A = this chain, B = another copy of it.
Amino acid sequence: MRAQSQGQHPDLGVALEHLLSSGGKRVRPAVALLTGGMLGANHERLITLAAAIELLHTATLVHDDLIDGALLRRGIATLNAQWSPAATVLTGDFIFARAARLAAETDSVTVMRLFAETLATIVNGELTQLFSSRGLASREDYFKRIHAKTASMFELATGAAAMLSPVDEYLAQEVRSFGYEIGMAFQIVDDVLDFTGEQTRVGKPVASDLRQGLFTLPALYYMESHPGNEVIAALLEGGRFSDDGLEELVVQIRKSGAIQKSIDEARRFVERGLTILESMPESPEREALEDLARYIIHRDL
């Protein structure tokens, strides 16, 4: 990934180093590597794919943080916190270009197609959210949104790994579904952590989504069991509410059963994923994927 800025303007190297040094869990490339390992993918092409996926993810984060005006990610300054919007847009574009080049280096046209489709899905999801940030407060909309935002990239990780492997269409589709299930669980847990986490650790206020009028699963479950809540009505309709009212709502959601219901929902996704894995070739990689899937619902909860 770091080699992708070679021969380019030096500041691109600085940006890429900054973005990559923040680490992150690298869960998407890990899923791709383990899936490909389990299915017997060509090793070199698989590593190229994993780097392409992480760079695609990184590029979308660069533009997202710019759009949201986020100043911190993973505890370190975002690019837009330090650079002009122009430089940030272009750096994101550059990383897209490098992700596309790496994807092309897998030498698989089907991988390339899935790659391009996934980027379109992610961006279309963000635009849909942008054009209707209020009023989309049903679980159906939520699941669509997190599919576009997160699960699509996990489907790419597993689906593209299968495309580089000597497996039949059925197995390829199954392993893609596995990516879907753990991707959905991953985002639900992220959304639970947005409520249960501490402000300092994640670098943003608790319930940051709700503050922007965005209803994630814990808020949706709470809303369903408390239909008359006035702050929720105001958030949905763009009406007025007090800061105290919002803080109180967050406290109520945190101690309500909505958190556990959300975790249970994530757990069901993971369980479906684990069931799919049972039909996969037994291997150390399969075991690692099982561990990873279970870890998703246990991290920090």
A residues neighboring B (CB under 8 Å) = 8-9, 11-12, 60, 63, 66-67, 84-87, 89-94, 96-98, 100-101, 103-105, 107-109, 112-113, 115-117, 119-120, 123-124, 126-128, 130-131
Interchain Cβ contacts under 8 Å between A and B, 23 examples: A8-B120, A8-B127, A9-B128, A11-B131, A12-B127, A63-B90, A67-B89, A85-B85, A87-B127, A90-B130, A91-B127, A92-B93, A94-B124, A94-B127, A96-B119, A97-B117, A98-B116, A101-B116, A101-B120, A104-B109, A104-B112, A104-B113, A112-B112
**Measured CA separation A80–B261 after assembly (Å):** 42
Flag if B93 contacts A67 (CB, 8 Å): no
Flag if B116 contacts A86 (CB, 8 Å): no
**Measured CA separation A123–B108 after assembly (Å):** 25
Give A121 Cβ to nearest chain B Cβ, in Å: 8
Chain A: interface secondary structure? helix
**Measured CA separation A127–B84 after assembly (Å):** 11
Q: Which B residues are CB-close (under 8 A) to A67?
A: 85-86, 89-90
- Out of B9, B103, B112, name the residue touching A131 (CB < 8 Å): B9
Give A300 Cβ to nearest chain B Cβ, in Å: 29
Q: Which B residues are CB-close (under 8 A) to A94?
A: 120, 123-124, 127
Q: A66-B89, A112-B104, A113-B104 are in contact. Are A98 and B120 (CB under 8 A)?
A: yes
